[in-house]
């Protein structure tokens, strides 16, 4: 695969940014003052993009430009610039469904593969807050709302089939980014693969055992099949704690370049799985044993609230804002029909719950045995301590993937997490 850069594309340098933005009235107005006054810095810690923050006398914006390769790996892993187009398309839809949790979009430039958005300040990446042990009292409420609103609106319950099919056709083309997930999340941790790495030698035996664990591998592949074939709604596609910006009072989901029509449980699972990773990594961030006990409790309480509120809001939208071509409440008004609709809703939410648990487990596993790891665990300096955290996380991950259908509710999952945390690990 060679670098396929469309005519007109050039990577912006810091020195080009002010002149570029000055030409966009909405951005210039938002920044205020003269271009010479704008402070510009490159802040990208992602793998896929250049990210500039530009601050003017009135306000700030972020300019995010896609690079034609994966930054972490370099030009050996080319990536289509067109992902910027999918990110833009997803942001537009998400902003319509949940405007309070999506950064305001000022500009999209298809040729340069860049978007200009509101600069979120003083928001930080949720993952960093979770490592520090910061409590976000609104997080569960906000993320439940973001997921319920965006997933419902783009599902067959929230839009007519004709609109969904047209929208889906657009996102069918987001092939390469889907491919990254397909390989890295569902396949590589269960086979020998180039990029795989883990805390070694502590996890050598575990990693080898995972690669020949038939039931676990089967579960991973069955989840992959869902990812490949269940076009339930426009999903964010990468909704981990690194794609969420927070303050105590605000929450934004960013970076939806992996968006496509896929299984809703993948978004819910990404968030829950990353919160369980945060939970198990707390032992590595304690200043003394037990000093993060109450924070661990907060994480589990947040997980419980996320699912409970998500379930509640999704059902409320279904009952009050149905706009699709299937399972309309208006079809179920006579005799015992409302009971039948309720039964269908229970079954629907149950499938989504079990899917979410499975996807959570897959996302946890790949962050410990696959190519891309998470700072929650990577920042634990002592490898023995880190490995113990990781083994606990893997234990829950396997349970979620192989026996997810056995959990009656989210409390039962948290009980399993607590039990795993208490166990001694070798």
Say if residue 9 is exposed, middle or buried (CB neighbours under 10 Å; 0-12, 13-18, 19+): middle
Shortest CA distance to 351 belongs to which of 216, 219, 232? 232
Q: Check: CB of residue 52 under 8 Å from CB of residue 14.
A: yes
Q: Check: CB of residue 65 under 8 Å from CB of residue 49.
A: yes
Q: Which of 43, 72, 161, 321 binds a second copy (CB under 8 A)?
A: 161
Answer yes or no whether residue 403 interacts with a second copy by CB under 8 A: no
Cβ nearer to a second copy, comparing 3 with 331: 331
Q: Which of 2, 76, 320, 335 binds a second copy (CB under 8 A)?
A: 335
Shortest CA distance to 84 belongs to which of 61, 115, 46? 115
Q: Check: CB of residue 63 under 8 Å from CB of residue 116.
A: yes
Read off the tokens for 154: 């783009």
Answer yes or no whether residue 344 interacts with a second copy by CB under 8 A: yes
Read off the tokens for 171: 């996102």
Q: Which of 347, 412, 419, 425 binds a second copy (CB under 8 A)?
A: 347
Cβ nearer to a second copy, comparing 43 with 175: 175
Answer yes or no whether residue 178 interacts with a second copy by CB under 8 A: yes
Cα distance between residue 156 and residue 158, in whole Å:
6
Cβ nearer to a second copy, comparing 155 with 206: 155
Answer yes or no whether residue 212 interacts with a second copy by CB under 8 A: yes
Q: Check: CB of residue 259 under 8 Å from CB of residue 235.
A: yes
The site map against a second copy for 227-246 (x = CB under 8 A) is -xxxxx--------------
Q: Compute the least distance from the CB of residue 169 to a second copy, in Å.
A: 4
Shortest CA distance to 62 belongs to which of 19, 9, 120? 120
Cβ nearer to a second copy, comparing 76 with 229: 229
Q: Which of 41, 58, 132, 179 binds a second copy (CB under 8 A)?
A: 179
Answer yes or no whether residue 425 interacts with a second copy by CB under 8 A: no
Shortest CA distance to 420 belongs to which of 291, 213, 276? 276
Answer yes or no whether residue 343 interacts with a second copy by CB under 8 A: yes
Cα distance between residue 103 and residue 128, in whole Å:
19
Cβ nearer to a second copy, comparing 92 with 161: 161
Query: Which neighbouring-strand residues pair with 252?
Result: 245
Q: Check: CB of residue 86 under 8 Å from CB of residue 259.
A: yes
Q: Which of 1, 19, 169, 316 binds a second copy (CB under 8 A)?
A: 169
Answer yes or no whether residue 412 interacts with a second copy by CB under 8 A: no
Answer yes or no whether residue 156 interacts with a second copy by CB under 8 A: yes
Place of tokens 């200009």: 116
All residues at 6 or more sequence positions from 163 whose CB lies less than 8 Å from its CB, including other chains: none
How many residues belong to the chain? Answer: 426
Enumerate residues 313-332 that contact a second copy by CB under 8 A.
325-327, 331-332
Answer yes or no whether residue 221 interacts with a second copy by CB under 8 A: yes
Q: Which of 2, 320, 334, 408 binds a second copy (CB under 8 A)?
A: 334
Cβ nearer to a second copy, comparing 143 with 153: 153
Cα distance between residue 405 and residue 409, in whole Å:
10
Cβ nearer to a second copy, comparing 117 with 147: 147
Q: Check: CB of residue 293 under 8 Å from CB of residue 133.
A: no
Answer yes or no whether residue 191 interacts with a second copy by CB under 8 A: yes
Which stretch, 119-127, 278-286, 342-350, 380-388, contacts a second copy (CB under 8 A)?
Answer: 342-350
Answer yes or no whether residue 1 interacts with a second copy by CB under 8 A: no
Cβ nearer to a second copy, comparing 228 with 425: 228
Read off the tokens for 425: 């690990």
Cα distance between residue 168 and residue 184, in whole Å:
23
Site for a second copy, rule CB under 8 A: 155-156, 161-162, 164-166, 168-169, 172-173, 175, 178-179, 182, 186-187, 190-191, 211-212, 214-215, 217-218, 221-222, 224-225, 228-232, 325-327, 331-332, 334-341, 343-344, 347
């Amino acid at each position: 695969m060679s670098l396929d850069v469309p005519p007109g594309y050039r990577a912006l340098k810091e020195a080009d940014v002010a002149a570029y933005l000055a030409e966009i009235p909405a951005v210039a107005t938002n920044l205020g003052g003269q271009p010479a006054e704008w402070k510009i810095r490159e802040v990208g810690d992602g793998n896929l993009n250049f990210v500039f923050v530009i601050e003017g006398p009135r306000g700030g914006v972020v300019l995010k430009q896609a690079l034609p390769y994966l930054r972490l790996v370099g030009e050996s892993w080319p990536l289509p610039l067109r992902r910027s187009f999918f990110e833009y398309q997803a942001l537009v839809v998400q902003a319509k469904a949940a405007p309070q949790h999506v950064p305001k979009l000022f500009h999209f430039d298809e040729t340069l593969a860049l978007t200009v958005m509101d600069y979120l300040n003083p928001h930080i990446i949720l993952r960093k807050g979770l490592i520090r042990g910061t409590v976000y009292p609104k997080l569960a409420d906000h993320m439940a709302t973001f997921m319920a609103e965006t997933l419902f609106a783009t599902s067959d319950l929230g839009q007519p089939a004709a609109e969904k099919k047209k929208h889906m056709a657009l996102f069918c083309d987001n092939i390469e980014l889907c491919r990254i997930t397909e390989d890295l999340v569902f396949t590589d941790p269960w086979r020998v693969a180039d990029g795989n790495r883990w805390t070694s030698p502590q996890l050598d035996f575990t990693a080898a055992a995972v690669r020949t664990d038939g039931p676990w591998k089967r579960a991973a592949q069955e989840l992959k099949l869902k990812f490949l074939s269940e076009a339930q709604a426009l999903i964010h596609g990468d909704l981990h704690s690194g794609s969420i910006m927070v303050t105590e009072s605000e929450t934004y989901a960013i970076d939806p370049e992996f968006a496509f029509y896929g299984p809703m449980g993948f978004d819910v699972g990404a968030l829950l799985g990353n919160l369980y990773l945060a939970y198990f990594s707390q032992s590595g961030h304690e200043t003394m044993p037990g000093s993060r006990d109450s924070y661990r409790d907060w994480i589990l309480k947040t997980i419980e609230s996320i699912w409970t509120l998500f379930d509640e809001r999704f059902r409320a939208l279904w009952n009050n804002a149905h706009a699709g071509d299937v399972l309309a409440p208006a079809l179920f008004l006579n005799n015992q029909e409302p009971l039948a609709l309720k039964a269908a809703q229970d079954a629907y939410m149950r499938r989504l719950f079990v899917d979410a648990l499975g996807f959570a487990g897959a996302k946890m596993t790949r962050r410990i045995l696959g190519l891309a790891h998470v700072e929650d665990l990577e920042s634990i300096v002592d490898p023995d301590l880190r490995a113990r955290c990781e083994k606990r996380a893997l234990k829950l991950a396997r349970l979620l993937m192989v026996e997810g259908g056995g959990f009656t509710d989210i409390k039962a999952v948290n009980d399993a997490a607590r039990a795993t945390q208490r166990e001694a690990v070798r």
